[in-house]
Each structure stands twice: as C-alpha cells, then as structure tokens.
Structure 1
Amino acid sequence: MDSQKTPVIFGNIPKLPAKWALIIIPFILSCLMSGIISFINMLRNLGWIEGFMALWFHNWMISWAFAFPIVLLLLPVVHKLTGLLVDMSGQQPPK
C-alpha cells in the first residue's frame, strides 16, 4: 500500500499541483472583489429592490468575466511595481 496519501480537496478529488496557484489565486481574488464591489455599487445605486439578488448575481458574473482576465494581464505589472516599492531580496521570484 502507498505510504504517501494524495491530498484531496474533498471526496476523491485530488488537490491541484502548486504551479496552479498562479491561476487559482487571481481566480478567487477576482471572484471575491468583483462580487463585493458589484454588490456595494448596486446597493448604493438601486437600494434593496425586489429581485436584487438575481440582478446582482447576473451583473456579478459579467463583472467577473472581465475581472479575471484583467487580473491575469495586470499581475506581472503589479509584481514589477511591487518590486519597486518593496525589498524582495529575501523572496523567491514567482515562476
């Protein structure tokens, strides 16, 4: 029997390899940010109207469809700008 058990997310679904973190982190971050910002903006502009949640969810998905690729495109620029402001000498560069 294999002495090393493969880490799983839940059930029998294995965790992704570490290299996927470069995609998963922006995926989750863009999801949360676009959801929160679209919720706040809609609430401020429309108030709590009938059908708010369905309308918000629809608009959130549209926002996220733009947010995720934009985050992926801007991430290298943000890394470079961060390097100008932060001493990263003790850090490993992202692969």
Structure 2
Amino acid sequence: MKKIPARFAPALFGLILSGLMSWVVSGISTFRASGPGAHFLDLWIGAWLMAWLVAFPVVLVIAPFTRRIVQRLVASAPQAQR
C-alpha cells in the first residue's frame, strides 16, 4: 500500500477525527430525536454527512489554536542533561 506523504498528516488527522466524532455525535443526536425507527439509518447518514462537511474545515481552522492552548496548559518536559 502506498503511503501518504507526511506533510498531509495534519489534514488526514483532521479528516479522520472529524469523521469519527461527527459520526458518533450525529448518531446519538439522531437516535435521541427520532428513536430506533425504520428510517433511523437514513436519517443518521444524512445528519452525519452534513455534520462532517462542517466539522472537517472547523477542525482544520481550530486545531492550531487548540495546540497553542494545550501548550500553555501543559508543563514542558525537562531538558535532558548531556
């Protein structure tokens, strides 16, 4: 299998993360709104695709800010002595 170049790692991470998170959240929301009816899967897929279309670009825009916030909140590792 041919691997994707490393420079695409942040975008690929965002694509996968936004896809999985929007899948879970849309599933829970759809289930709560419609219940386990005959059309649940159709409703869920439609809700998930719409959510993913929004979530992916949002993740790409918000990720740099989130990294900076995390860096400020987490203690940096001590430098190794040589």
Tell me the TM-score normalised to structure 2 length.
Answer: 0.88
Look up the SS of the partner of 2:75 in the other structure. Answer: coil
Aligned match of 1:58 = 46
Runs of 4+ in 1 over 6 A off after TM superposition: none
Give the distance between the partners of 1:88 and 1:41, measured in 2 at CA. 38
More strand, by proportion: 1
Q: Any idea what the Cα deviations from partners look like across 1:48-90, whole Å, max 9, x if unmatched? A: 1111101110110000000000000000110110011113457
RMSD over equivalenced CA pairs, Å? 1.3
1:80 aligns with 2:68: yes
> What is the correspondence of 1:1-95 to structure 2 with a 5 Å cutoff?
8=1, 14-89=2-77
Letter in 1 for 2:48: W
Q: How many residues are matched?
A: 78
Letter in 1 for 2:13: I
Identity of aligned residues (%): 35
Quick one: higher RCO (CA 8 Å, sep 6+), 1 or 2? Answer: 2
Where in structure 1 are there 5+ consecutive unaligned residues? Answer: 1-7, 9-13, 91-95
Q: Any idea what the Cα deviations from partners look like across 1:13-36, whole Å, max 9, x if unmatched? A: x11011111110010000000000
Look up the SS of the partner of 1:23 in the other structure. Answer: helix
Tell me the TM-score normalised to structure 1 length.
Answer: 0.77
